[in-house]
Amino acid sequence: MVKETIRVYARVKPLGRRQQAGSYSVDNEEPLPSLEITVPRDLGDGFINNKRESYKFKFQKIFDQEAKQDVIFDSIAKPVAECVLAGYNGTIFAYGQTGSGKTFTVTGGAERYSDRGIIPRTLSYIFDQLQKDSSKVYTTHVSYLEIYNECGYDLLDPRHEASRMEDLPKVTIMEDSDQNIHLKNLSLQQATNEEEALNLLFLGDTNRMIAETPMNQASSRSHCIFTIHISSKEPGSATIRRSKLHLVDLAGSERVAKTGIGGQLLTEAKYINLSLHYLEQVIIALAEKNRSHIPYRNSMMTSVLRDSLGGNCMTTMIAMLAMDKRNIGESISTCRFAQRVALIKNEAVLNEEIDPRLMIVQLKKEIQDLKDELALVTGKQRTSELSQEELLQLDELIETFLKDNDPDSSLDVGADMRKIKYSFVHMKQIINHPMTSGNKLLSQDISEEKNSNEELEKLKGLLQQRDNEINILVTMLKKEKKKARDALSQFNASSAGSTALEQSPSMSLEENQSPSKCFSLKEAKVLSSSIPRLPFLSRATGGEMSLGCQEAFEVFKRDHADSITIEDNKQLLKQRFDEAKCLGEKLNEVRNKINHLKGKVIQRQIQRAAQAVSNPSEELTFDPVEENLRMQIEEEKKSYKTVYSRFKGLKVEIEHLQLLMEKVKMKLQKDFEIWWAEEAKKFQQEKSEMVTSPNTVTVYPHFTRSSQHLSPISFSDTNRDSPNEDPAVKKNSVTFGNPTLKTSN
Ligand code: ADP
Ligand code: MG
């Protein structure tokens, strides 16, 4: 049994360029490293400030601004990963306000390979270790849970691609008779190697990003728990050892009433996130001696982490701190929370259990015993199926019940779970399929009318979207036109007198638009062609992107800051590919050399054997030539090994880079979707304002020609009620509420 307190570390985020540094000092000397934060006394409001000026907090270790990700992994995560490999449970959670670097520390930055965080590094480490140990059979699974507003979502649910988060089945908590927590609807995906596990991590992160909308900035308000489950068994043994490692990116810990330095700094304001408040309550309760009741059940997160906070677990917390002046207050809160966490003592025990097959045999016997007992009490042998006769009886009962207009009537099928279940199923059928179930409560007329109303609503919506789309494009075109005009006038100013390029400032739209279009399309191709698409990222789209929307996307992409990152990574990737190719060639070369040397050794042995036959007096003694060849072979083998391990490392890096690029690309698409939806909303508002002032004329007739690919209906209000039936137009429709995009490969 391992007994120790929760380890608490602090990491200070590097200051931003425009941020003013707060005053703090780090003392990492033994025995207890400490962080001291000084708060200036100036209040400016005339009150005398009696509050303390400087605060000192103790940590296991403090990582200052320049600490790199590999150091963080080695000092914080590796010891926990080792415990998990030995069969204990482990948890690492990052706590701090939004923007303090939690996601950067747990998952990693989206740009550089060296910025990868604790999760990818831990996966790499764990799979490396498992591969080295051949004494046991290991199975590894991962799960990825997001908790938002007390609801759990499975980030690895494959249905994410097609549906919104809210439509997926919620993850719920179940407790068995031993008070163990089970999570219903959270999938455990098997990952047999690092690459598979990394793909799952990226799938989850991408799903998280897609689910986020501007209204719901889920990432700062949700908790994400990435869990690695390992089970091991020695061959022939019935004992299975299971352990899990939770890597938790908590919601932002900022408080509602954000006050300046001094003033109400030490007053406890309300948490934005109630579940963090409950986490704190659990932690306080755990730290108190002789507390028998721990309020785990108050929130989903504390329930999920129940066996990972107080109980059987190696727990580590990283307090994330932003030390610029504006955030010192929040950082002090984070440190105070950390100090409370550091008081908890944990007892980690090995998780061993009996083989489930033995368990099944036992349980089957128990069931049979119970059935026998039941038969004895009721005098009836009970099978799992209801008889035909019983079913008919039930149908009749249900029908009478449904037809009975008396509000007090009830349906009594007896104390038999099978019958109760059947009744519910039967009624569900009647409700869902009234026609086939023989219930003609709903007349056909009603449903037809409903259908046509729905159709009308749909078409109206479509018209609305088309209208918005054109408006956005028109604005974009205007901007492009302005840009070109500015560029031209600049050019004209610099080359005054040159007549060749002088043109009227009112360039036609076509002339104006085409160069930028050519450029962006070409560029877009370059951008996307370099990225191999992963199967999980090809989202099942509800509708294709319309030409207009595509074009807007191309321009958006060209101007987006992330395209630089993509470009940089693309270069890096190319370099890495070249390096890998070189190393591959080198490996082949070395292999050939080894084979060649081996051939020589054999030749030499044959020669010497022949000599021995023809001249038996000469004894077969040590042969320096052969020895020399063997030494050369060993040398080559060594160099093969080094080159090979470099080659392997490069492969992992390449895969990671590819995933990063996918992620940045997804983000770009998402940013576009948000922008697009916002633009649409803006035009919607403008339009409704225009309706109230009928004198305003806002039609851009001269743009019509360049927007030929768009349905002209949106330009004239008179056509509103005759929906365009052109199938091509239909195909190109875009849904504004939840636009889905497809990128060319
Ligand atoms: P949080 O998840 O706590 O809201 P993030 O991890 O998203 O915060 O960090 C906010 C920003 O700061 C991100 O752009 C991230 O890349 C950057 N950042 C955080 N920590 C570091 C660090 N140690 N080094 C470099 N950049 C960092
Ligand atoms: Mg975050």
621 known ligand binder: no
Ligand 1 atom having least distance to the Cα of 94? 3
Interaxial angle between packed helices 417-432 and 388-403, expressed in degrees from 0 to 180 and rounded to the nearest 10: 60
Q: Is residue 533 part of a domain?
A: no
Domain boundary among 650, 679, 708: 679
**Cβ of 104 less than 6 Å from ligand 1:** yes
Question: pLDDT band at residue 265, thresholds of 50, 70 and 90?
Answer: very low
Interval between CA 24 and ligand 2 midpoint (Å): 24
97 known ligand binder: yes
Q: Which ligand is nearest to the CA of 117?
A: 1
Q: How far apart are CA 286 and CA 1, in angstroms?
A: 19
Q: What is the pLDDT of residue 637?
A: 92
Could you please report the per-residue DSSP string of 340-370?
A: HHTT-EEEE---EEE-HHHHHHHHHHHHHHH
Q: How far apart are CA 16 and CA 124, in angstroms?
A: 31
In angstroms, how far is CA 382 from the centroid of its own chain?
A: 48
Quote the DSSP letter at residue 718.
Answer: G
Q: What is the pLDDT of residue 229?
A: 95
Q: How far apart are CA 496 and CA 562, in angstroms?
A: 37
Q: Is residue 134 part of a domain?
A: yes
**Cβ of 569 less than 6 Å from ligand 1:** no
Domain boundary among 658, 679, 700: 679
Token representation of residue 634: 């060993």
| Structural domain range at position 640 | 550-613+623-679
Q: Is residue 429 part of a domain?
A: no
Question: pLDDT band at residue 50, thresholds of 50, 70 and 90?
Answer: low
pLDDT exceeds 90 at position 42? no
Q: What is the pLDDT of residue 604?
A: 87
Interval between CA 111 and ligand 2 midpoint (Å): 15
Are the CB atoms for 331 and 37 separated by under 8 Å? yes
- HEC sequence for 418-482: HHHHHHHHHHHHHHHCCCCCCCCCCCHHHHHHHHHHHHHHHHHHHHHHHHHHHHHHHHHHHHHHH
Tens digits of per-residue pLDDT, 408-449? 888 888 877 788 888 888 888 888 876 655 444 444 555 666
Question: pLDDT band at residue 245, thresholds of 50, 70 and 90?
Answer: very high
Token representation of residue 344: 């908890």
**Cβ of 308 less than 6 Å from ligand 1:** no
Of the two residues 641 and 47, the one the predictor is more confident about is 641
Ligand 1 atom having least distance to the Cα of 67? 23
**Residue entry with tokens 């450029």:** 519
pLDDT exceeds 90 at position 117? yes
Buried/exposed 491-521: b ≥16 CB within 10 Å, e otherwise: eeeeeeeeeeeeeeeeeebeebbeebeeebb
- With pLDDT > 90 as the criterion, what percentage of the chain qualifies? 25
**Cβ of 64 less than 6 Å from ligand 1:** no
Asked, as a colleague might, if the bond just before 31 is cis with ω within 30 of 0, I would say yes
132 known ligand binder: no
Q: How far apart are CA 217 and CA 127, in angstroms?
A: 34
**Cβ of 102 less than 6 Å from ligand 1:** yes
Q: What is the pLDDT of residue 161?
A: 65
Q: How far apart are CA 182 and CA 172, in angstroms?
A: 8
- Angle of CA points 675, 680, 685, to nearest 5°: 125
Token representation of residue 437: 């179930």
Out of 75-84, 93-102, 504-513, 608-617, which region has the weakest mean confidence (pLDDT)?
Answer: 504-513
Q: What is the pLDDT of residue 739?
A: 35
pLDDT exceeds 50 at position 145? yes
pLDDT exceeds 70 at position 545? no
Are the CB atoms for 649 and 583 separated by under 8 Å? no
**Cβ of 160 less than 6 Å from ligand 1:** no
Alpha-carbon torsion 642, 648, 649, 653, what sign? positive
Question: pLDDT band at residue 705, thresholds of 50, 70 and 90?
Answer: very low
Q: What is the pLDDT of residue 253?
A: 86
Q: Is residue 652 part of a domain?
A: yes
Give the CB-side neighbour count of residue 423, counting CA atoms within 13 A.
Answer: 21
Are the CB atoms for 474 and 703 separated by under 8 Å? yes
Q: How far apart are CA 622 and CA 612, in angstroms?
A: 13
Average of per-residue pLDDT across 219-229: 87
Tens digits of per-residue pLDDT, 179-216? 777 899 999 999 999 999 999 999 998 888 776 654 44
Q: How far apart are CA 623 and CA 620, in angstroms?
A: 8
pLDDT exceeds 80 at position 721? no
CA nearest ligand 1 atom 12, residue: 101
Q: What SS3 state is found at 95?
A: strand
Q: What is the pLDDT of residue 697?
A: 41
Q: What SS3 state is found at 5?
A: strand
pLDDT exceeds 90 at position 10? yes
Question: pLDDT band at residue 556, thresholds of 50, 70 and 90?
Answer: confident
Average of per-residue pLDDT across 247-262: 69
Could you please report the per-residue DSSP string of 197-259?
A: HHHHHHHHHHHHHHH-BTTB-HHHH-EEEEEEEEEEE-TT--EEEEEEEEEEEPPP--BSS--
Interval between CA 712 and ligand 2 midpoint (Å): 44
Question: pLDDT band at residue 162, thresholds of 50, 70 and 90?
Answer: low
pLDDT exceeds 70 at position 740? no
Average of per-residue pLDDT across 634-646: 91
CA dihedral 304, 309, 315, 316 (to 10 degrees): 90
**Cβ of 109 less than 6 Å from ligand 1:** yes
Question: pLDDT band at residue 54, thresholds of 50, 70 and 90?
Answer: confident
Q: Which residues contact 95 (CB under 8 A, 6 or more apart)?
A: 102, 250, 253, 317, 318, 319, 320, 334, 337, 338
Tens digits of per-residue pLDDT, 454-505? 888 888 888 887 777 787 877 877 787 787 777 777 766 665 544 433 333 3
Domain boundary among 354, 378, 412: 354
pLDDT exceeds 50 at position 111? yes
Tens digits of per-residue pLDDT, 575-594? 989 999 999 999 999 999 99
CATH of residue 293: 3.40.850.10
Out of 83-97, 265-279, 437-451, which region has the weakest mean confidence (pLDDT)?
Answer: 437-451
pLDDT exceeds 50 at position 709? no
Q: What is the pLDDT of residue 362?
A: 76
Q: Is residue 212 part of a domain?
A: yes
Interval between CA 11 and ligand 2 midpoint (Å): 15
CA nearest ligand 1 atom 17, residue: 101
Average of per-residue pLDDT across 78-101: 92
Out of 179-183, 256-260, 400-404, 528-532, which region has the weakest mean confidence (pLDDT)?
Answer: 528-532
Question: pLDDT band at residue 532, thresholds of 50, 70 and 90?
Answer: very low
Q: What is the pLDDT of residue 348?
A: 55
Of the two residues 476 and 643, the one the predictor is more confident about is 643
Average of per-residue pLDDT across 113-123: 96
Question: pLDDT band at residue 35, thresholds of 50, 70 and 90?
Answer: very high
Tens digits of per-residue pLDDT, 660-670? 888 888 888 88
pLDDT exceeds 70 at position 512? no
Question: pLDDT band at residue 701, thresholds of 50, 70 and 90?
Answer: very low
CA nearest ligand 1 atom 1, residue: 99
Out of 200-204, 208-212, 608-612, 648-652, which region has the weakest mean confidence (pLDDT)?
Answer: 208-212
Q: How far apart are CA 90 and CA 125, in angstroms?
A: 15
Average of per-residue pLDDT across 268-277: 60
Number of domains comprising the chain: 2
Out of 54-63, 71-80, 184-193, 233-242, which region has the weakest mean confidence (pLDDT)?
Answer: 233-242
Q: What is the pLDDT of residue 5?
A: 65
Phi then psi dihedrals of residue 390, to 5 deg: -60, -40
Mean pLDDT of the chain: 75
Q: Is residue 289 part of a domain?
A: yes
Of the two residues 547 and 397, the one the predictor is more confident about is 397
Are the CB atoms for 253 and 280 separated by under 8 Å? no
Q: Is residue 484 part of a domain?
A: no
Tens digits of per-residue pLDDT, 324-358? 988 988 999 999 989 888 876 655 556 666 666 76
Q: Is residue 694 part of a domain?
A: no
pLDDT exceeds 60 at position 513? no
- Angle of CA points 481, 487, 490, to nearest 5°: 140
Q: What is the pLDDT of residue 439?
A: 47
Out of 1-5, 31-35, 592-596, 622-626, which region has the weakest mean confidence (pLDDT)?
Answer: 1-5
Out of 156-160, 226-230, 535-539, which region has the weakest mean confidence (pLDDT)?
Answer: 535-539
Of the two residues 250 and 158, the one the predictor is more confident about is 250
Q: Which ligand is nearest to the CA of 99?
A: 1
- With pLDDT > 70 as the criterion, what percentage of the chain qualifies? 71
pLDDT exceeds 80 at position 695? no
